[in-house]
Amino acid sequence: MAVSVLEAGSSTGLPVFADIEAARGRLDGIAHRTPVLTSRFADERTGGRLFFKCENLQRAGAFKFRGAYNAIAALPPEARRRGVMAYSSGNHAQAIALASRLLDVSATILMPIDSPAMKMAATRGYGAEVVTYDRYTEDRETLARDLAAERGLTLIPPYDHLEVIAGQGTAAAELIEATGPLDMLLVCLGGGGLLSGCALAAAAMSPGCQVIGVEPEAGDDGRQSLARGEIVTIPVPRSIADGALTTHLGQLTFPIVRELASDIVTVPDEALVEAMRFFAQRMKMVVEPTGSLAAAAAFSGAVACEGRRVGVIVSGGNVDLASYARFLAG
Ligand SMILES: *Cc1c(COP(=O)(O)O)cnc(C)c1O
């Protein structure tokens, strides 16, 4: 019988609640304490009481800033002097770039050469050096490892990292502090950094709260992994939820998700579009497709909210305007 991730303590190399508390200290006054909003429409529609934690309003437009800043701030001075590196075409890259600038650390970001020009410009705009690669012929993890070794940089992965997970968990910690105990917490799921961090926070602050991961229907590796009891790797999924197109959970995130998540559910892309329209029309918020996963689970009936107090993590708001307009117009 394996030791519980809650009781094993930090000797396992897995994050524990104390790491989330330390992250809160580092992020205090730096990350936005994003608002927790409610909607009568959402409550009537689902029969529950929904609390939306609006990380689309976080710095750089997504919760990723929490983990990125926490990971860099936790580095020893020597590593900070040498600089950090990340590989990502999305929110993690921008979060690392911004956090590095704030901490006066140099950042190198490995991005696919065909990334949207706007994303590359935004990453460079934060002062990061962008190194490009061909996503069809080159393996980014190998490239990143080689480049980091060559330049003495510390690689900060997007989810499978103790301080990244701890940083992401501060989103749920703030939410539960604002709402009091919850019956259920809905968290979108890519590589599981956000879900595992939030599950650790919920286990400590709202015991008994069911924590549920939400994946795009086309990329249900998390659900398969939970069912099989081991990390299942799938081909790169196709979904408009571009922040959740990961192919597998991590060595750190999986054991936490397996023990602390009650379930993992999936939603189709149509439900994401519907949730994005809800956010735009009723809540006056721009939310990206991936950021709508958790809300879509509540609205589509993938989870039952009746009579329950439900936390919904709205994870990000970075979507290019042309596709956003297409989603809304339908
Ligand atoms: C990265 C990301 C996710 C998925 O987070 P993981 O920690 O990889 O599970 C969800 N939503 C948005 C907006 C993201 O940027």
Q: How many domains is the chain partitioned into structurally?
A: 2
Q: Which of 197, 315, 316, 317 is catalytic?
A: 315
| 170 and 273 both lie in a single domain | yes
Same domain, 58 and 84: no
Q: Could you tell me if 119 and 233 lie in one domain?
A: no
Atom of ligand 1 nearest to the CA of 91: 15
**107, 124, 155 — which closes off a domain?**
155
CB 178 within 8 A of CB 203: no
- In short, whether 316's Cβ falls inside 6 Å of ligand 1 is yes
The residues, ordered by sequence, that sit 6+ positions from 241 with a Cβ below 8 Å of its Cβ are 188, 216, 219, 269, 272, 289, 290, 292, 293
Cα-to-centroid distance, 243 and ligand 1 (Å): 5
Closest residue by Cα to residue 103 from 177, 163, 57, 165: 163
Active site residue 217: no
Q: What is the CATH number of the domain that holds 216?
A: 3.40.50.1100
Q: What is the pLDDT of residues 300-317, one digit of tens each?
A: 999 999 999 999 999 999
pLDDT digits (tens, 9 = 90+) for 10-46: 667 899 999 999 999 999 999 999 999 999 999 999 9
Is 22 a domain residue? yes
* Residue range(s) defining the domain that contains residue 204: 9-62+165-329
Assess whether 306 carries a catalytic annotation: no
In a shared domain, residues 58 and 150? no
Q: Is residue 176 part of a domain?
A: yes
Given 155, 188, 219, the domain boundary residue is: 155
Contact partners, residue 11, CB within 8 Å, separation at least 6 = none
pTM assigned to the model: 0.96
Render pLDDT for 103-122 as a digit per residue (tens, 0 to 9). Answer: 999 999 999 888 877 788 88
Cβ–ligand 1 contact at 108 (below 6 Å): no
Q: Pick the catalytic residue: 190, 219, 222, 291?
A: 219
Q: Is 215 a catalytic residue?
A: yes
Is residue 160 included in any domain, yes or no? no
- Residue 297 sits in the same domain as residue 204: yes
221 as an active site residue: the answer is: yes
